Amino acid sequence: MRAVLPRSVRRHPARLVLSAAAVAALAATSACSTSSSTAKASPSAAAGSNTIQVVAAENFWGSIATQLGGSHVKVTSIITNPDTDPHSYEPTAGDARTIAGADYAITNGIGYDAWSDKLLAANPAPSRTTLKVGDLVGKKEGDNPHQWYSHDSLYKVIDQVIADYKKIDPADAAYFDTQKQTFETQTLAKYNQLESDIKAKYAGTPIGASESIVTPLAESTGLKMMTPATFLSAESEGTDPTAADKATIDQQISGKQIKIYVYNTQNSNPDVVAQVNAAKAQGIPVAQVTETLAPAGATFQDWQTQELQGIADALKAATGK
């Protein structure tokens, strides 16, 4: 570091600090004054148009919103890449723009997408409707965030999305009612069928899993989750699981106390890989699920159906039923 200390040092530092303050004040106020005049150019193009601009924090909710809204919505999903872990997503400026321009925002909540709360708060818009799935289904931070794997939560979300669409665009209320009917009875038919098949055939069958994403699925299908809940949440939240939990799971696998093992390929770490290998070595069938739509362009129902089919096949192989 070079010293810069000529005699003039002692002249007028106070005045200079003040002038620096003036620069700061000027810069800050120029930003606000310009903003008010350009705010009218805001990209929110809701009024007059019949297309609702929808933003979904995750693409599974986006897929549902797209199919429910049909030709009257344009949905943009933020988390779409099956290779990223949504738990540690970092939003981009583009995401903030999308949220700023949306008429309707769907976020998962329950601490799963805390970044979206920030983006919504930084872009206040009185005309925007927001659906936070966690609030809708009465879950709070620390509860299981993977509500799109729960049959009941899914149907609650469908009801709310349709209600919100009708409120934003009352002229097309009849259209949205038809969309809902079609989605629930036709689009989700195979999904519902598989769920009730598994429930009828395999209810009460003990299963193991790699993280808490499988818990709502097990509840919806009547399967019995054997893996300790503390391990499931630790894996989901990316914290260290306890040694006792790992020992329990190893026993469950080596003692064949679980019939199948279900793991999340999008969030697998050395612990999970070891359990998958141990299960395979014991002849326990392994089924896979993912966090978000896989492949990225799949619809919600195709993705879920494929996963349920995999679980049904594994159960069949394990039990012979």
Partner 1 sequence: MLLADANSPVFSWNLLADFQEMWAYPFMVNAFRAGAIVSVVCAVVGWFMVLRRQTFAGHTLSVAAFPGASLAILVGVSTSLGYFGFCVAAALVIAALGRKGRDAGAEESAVTGTVQAFALACGYLFISLYKGLLEGPTALLFGSFLGITTGQVLLLAVVGAVVLAVLAVIGRPLLFATVDPEVAAGRGVPVRLLSALFLVLLGAATAEASQITGTLLVFALMVVPAATAQQLTGRPGLSLLLAALIGLACCWGGLIAAYYQPYPLGFFVTTIAFTGYVLAHLGRALHGALGRTRGSSFGLGGAA
Residues found near partner 1 in the complex (CB under 8 A): 1-6, 8-21, 23-24, 27-28, 31-32, 34-35, 38-39, 41-43, 87-97, 100, 111-112, 114-115, 118-119, 121-125, 141-142, 145, 236-240
Cβ distance to partner 1 smaller for residue 87 or 166: 87
Cβ distance to partner 1 smaller for residue 147 or 221: 147
17 to each of 11, 13, 24, 42, 293, how far by Cα in Å? 12, 6, 11, 37, 55
Run of H or E including 287: strand 286-289
Cβ distance to partner 1 smaller for residue 124 or 283: 124
Taking a C-beta distance cutoff of 8 angstroms, is the pair 314, 286 a contact? yes
Q: How far apart are CA 275 and CA 256, in angstroms?
A: 12
Cβ distance to partner 1 smaller for residue 32 or 174: 32
Cβ distance to partner 1 smaller for residue 79 or 162: 79
Shortest Å, Cβ 28 to partner 1: 5
Q: Which two tokens stand for residue 291?
A: 């966090």
What does residue 122 show for φ and ψ, rounded to 5 degrees?
-80, -10
Helix pair 214-221, 151-168: axis angle to 10 deg? 100
Run of H or E including 73: strand 73-79
Shortest Å, Cβ 305 to partner 1: 28
The one-letter amino acid code at 29 reads T
Q: Which two tokens stand for residue 105?
A: 């925002």
Q: Which two tokens stand for residue 121?
A: 């708060």
- DSSP label at residue 141: B
Q: How far apart are CA 209 and CA 236, in angstroms?
A: 11
Cβ distance to partner 1 smaller for residue 28 or 244: 28
Shortest Å, Cβ 242 to partner 1: 13
Shortest Å, Cβ 101 to partner 1: 8
Run of H or E including 208: strand 206-209
Q: Which two tokens stand for residue 200?
A: 């009828």
Cβ distance to partner 1 smaller for residue 3 or 171: 3
- Give the Cβ contact number of residue 290 at 10 Å: 18
